[in-house]
Homo-oligomer: A and B are copies of this chain.
Amino acid sequence: MPVTSPYHLIDAAFILQLTEILGEANVFTDSQVLDNYSHDETEDLRYQPEVVVKPADTAQVSAILKLCSSAYVPVTPRGGGTGLSGGALPVYGGVLMSMERFKSIIEIDTENLQATVEPGVITEEFMNAVAAEGLLYPVDPSSKGSCFIGGNVAHGSGGPRVVKYGTIREYILNLEVVLPNGDVIWTGANTLKYASGYNLTQLMIGSEGTLGVVTKIVTKLIPRTQHNVVLLGSFLENEAACAAVSAIFRAGIIPSALEFMERKGVEWVIRFDDIKFDLKDNVKAFLMIELDGDDLDMIFKDVEKVNEVLESHGCTEVLFADTAAQKEDLWRMRRVMAESVKSNSVYKEEDTVVPRAALPQLINGVKEIGARYGFESVCYGHAGDGNLHINIIKGDMSDEDWKYKLKEGIVEIFQLTAKLGGTISGEHGIGLVQREFMPLKYSEVHLNLMRGIKRVFDPDLILNPGKIF
């Protein structure tokens, strides 16, 4: 899908300058590598870069950006390539900057409960390193086994434990950032409080690599809780399961995860992943609830309260998992759901988020819109946050309908989301694929503020162009 580009094309002299900065071994122009970096996990989209570079330190990133700025060549930074909104796709070609060599966990500071880490560290590896010190870094997107913490920062990532522990926003204290012109700043301070002018740390989080390239990350850590249990509740209707969600919080419980899964998602997981699970005929939806804490008695008291809420909302069966293997089985079911759906059909994922009590209206609305436009959907997600991932299945839909008619349906979904007080993306970002829908939620005045901020950081618009707005 070629795009008319206002940027300069890369020539041999430019490649030579890149190799002077990085050495030949870290500059790639062969078509196999270009292919590998032409896609992320977003639908079936492909955009080929002209060159792939793999810097290893801040000075190299700075030199590359300086070079690209002066040559008017676009740069697309890339983390683990697990994004679902096309944020890492080099829409205008140019330089694809992979951060995969930024692999160092520089320090885990057990005195201050902080860590300093490079952006190319895989999230789960970081979590494990921190856990080995008895500490918790709770930001665990489903892709934690392959995504990079730098990509998590770029997307303001969430994951199942947001509901108790907050998004990545609450764990990032300070960032080293290379600006598009090559200048380097630290955005803030290594402190839990910060009231020293505009909060550039928070502005960078979720900016999807359009304002600067993050080269070091200082995170907050917290003490690790000692115990957790997982419940899986079965429901005969989507709506009943969704209605139970806000009731759990009203009962005074803050679970460490509260996930919704539609029957079809579970069916596809069973087929895809060969998971053993006794799926009852009449069950239509599930809630998976994790409760954690330092005292098992307290957890069991909460389990009782949750059971009462589930029962009063029509839950027909509760599975209880307290061994590591049982818990992992349930979590695995949830984690491989996106992949399972993808293995069945081309699909589009919408990452809607609403105030949690509006979930029943959202899911009913999605199904009603689907019925009118003739598409099937599989819904699941972080229900405790009101965050519902809607996987729309191409299935037997014609290419024509998939391209044009479906879009009207998606517009209606986003309009409903906005009407319910929500927005277009909870944790996957806008990137390339949701960009066109931004005006459904945000006024031109609002979008112009974003564009203005972009120009302050990147006046030549060379960094990750074509994204967000």
Contact = CB atoms under 8 A, between A and B. Distances in A.
A442 B193 contact: no
Given A183-B445, A223-B254, A456-B452, A112 B357 contact: yes
Nearest to A158: B193
A195 B191 contact: no
A190 B250 contact: no
Contact of A386 (B162, B188, B192, B222): B192
A306 interface: no
Contacts of A454: 198
Nearest to A162: B193
B195 A111 contact: no
Category for how many chain A residues contact B: 35 or more
A441 B163 contact: no
A252 interface: yes
A113 B248 CA distance: 12
Interface stretch (A45-53, A279-287, A315-323, A421-429): A421-429
A190 B421 contact: yes
A246 interface: yes
Nearest to A189: B423
Contacts of A254: 222-223
A294 B294 CA distance: 13
Interface stretch (A27-35, A88-96, A200-208, A395-403): A200-208
Nearest to A302: B294
Given A185-B443, A222-B254, A198 B191 contact: no
B298 A197 contact: no
Contacts of A445: 179, 183, 185
A170 B169 CA distance: 9
Given A203-B203, A223-B249, A249-B223, A193 B353 contact: yes
Contact of A193 (B252, B426, B447): B426
A457 interface: yes
A425 B198 CA distance: 12
Contact of A190 (B192, B246, B422, B427): B422
B205 A193 contact: no
B353 A449 contact: no
A216 to B, nearest CB: 13
Contacts of A253: 223
Contact of A449 (B188, B200, B421): B200
A385 B158 contact: no
Interface in A409-456: 418, 421-430, 434, 438, 441-443, 445-447, 449-450, 452-456
Contacts of A353: 189, 191-194
Given A196-B424, A198-B468, 10 more contacts: A112-B358, A156-B195, A158-B193, A194-B206, A194-B426, A197-B442, A197-B447, A203-B203, A449-B457, A453-B453
Interface of A: 109-114, 134, 155-158, 162-163, 166-167, 169-170, 179, 183, 185, 188-200, 202-203, 205-207, 222-223, 246, 249-250, 252-254, 294-295, 298, 301, 351, 353-358, 382, 385-387, 418, 421-430, 434, 438, 441-443, 445-447, 449-450, 452-457, 468-469
11 contacts: A111-B355, A191-B421, A193-B387, A195-B427, A197-B438, A200-B449, A200-B450, A223-B253, A298-B298, A449-B456, A453-B456
Which 7 pairs, one residue from A and one from B, show the smallest C-beta to C-beta distance? A452-B456, A189-B423, A193-B426, A202-B202, A111-B357, A190-B421, A112-B355
